[in-house]
Amino acid sequence: MDQVAERHDKPFEFEVQKMRLIDRSGNEELRDVKRYAREVTEEDTHFLMAFHSPSGIRGTALLTWQHDNKDDDQWLYLPAQGKKAKRVAKGGKKNYFMGTDYTFEDLISESRDKFTYNRLEDVVEEKRKLFVVEAFPKDESVKEETGYKFRRMFIDQDIFFVMKTEYFDKRGRFIKRQTAHDVSQVDGKTYRAKKNIMKNKKLKHETHVTILERTFDESDVPEKLFNTRFITRNKHMR
């Protein structure tokens, strides 16, 4: 997992996303999202997701301060509920975010200090040789916070990129699977997927996230973005 992080974690990243939600009847909803990430220290990274459409949720934002050595901080800003960002309770991070198949916890990067990893037998899928690694929370508090007993990751052996992740609930039952599509080299040893698809078996629901634009420039993720006051003044939408 250290190789995965070394190759693919970047200190600054900005994405323009097209999100497509598909329910069990095949009905679809499209959303436009911007995602920002900025490494503050070796142990702390800040994330911001901002919805630009549809109009009913425009301005909605999720701000996360991720900490490797302590509990993360998250705030949800819903413009329709007033100019105040609501802190996401520790136990609420396992809930699904804005009707997607991603929980609040799924939307941040891997905090390796909070998990133990077990390697299983390698597999070959679609002509790719894959490491298979299971990630278990190190303690009950992390397990309770994530809502998962474990995750099973399938990692390309040539580029150390996670091609697929399977999620299992606290009883060890399979819930959902995320797959990476159109993976390509974007910067040195760094790879990214053009599209990620999360299929939720339990809810019979899917979330497709297509990346329309991506940069790794510090200027695109200014530090002032990652502040509740900045967001509640709707400056994140400019």
Over residues 176-204, the mean pLDDT reads 96
pLDDT at 108: 82
Q: How far is CA 227 from CA 46, 47, 164, 215, in A?
A: 10, 10, 32, 21
Burial class (CB in 10 A: 0-12, 13-18, 19+), 229: exposed
Report the CATH superfamily, name and number, of domain 2-237: Lipoprotein localisation LolA/LolB/LppX (2.50.20.10)
Maximum C-alpha span of the chain: 52
What token pair was written down for 23? 């329910």
Condensed to tens digits (0 to 9), the pLDDT of residues 49-107 reads: 999 999 999 999 999 999 888 888 999 999 988 888 999 887 777 899 999 999 988 98
Neighbours of 145 (CB within 10 A): 21
DSSP H helical segments within the chain, as ranges? 2-8, 140-146, 228-232
172 phi-psi bin (left φ>0, alpha ψ -120 to 50, beta other)? left
pLDDT (tens digit, 9 = 90+) per residue, 4-42?
888 998 999 999 999 999 999 999 999 999 999 999 998
Which residue did the predictor score with more confidence, 111 or 191? 191
pTM value surpassing 0.85 = yes
CA 93, 51, 161, 96 dihedral sign is positive
Question: Does position 238 have pLDDT exceeding 80, yes or no?
Answer: no
Please name which of 6, 27, 10, 28 lies closest in space to residue 18, comparing C-alpha atoms. Answer: 28
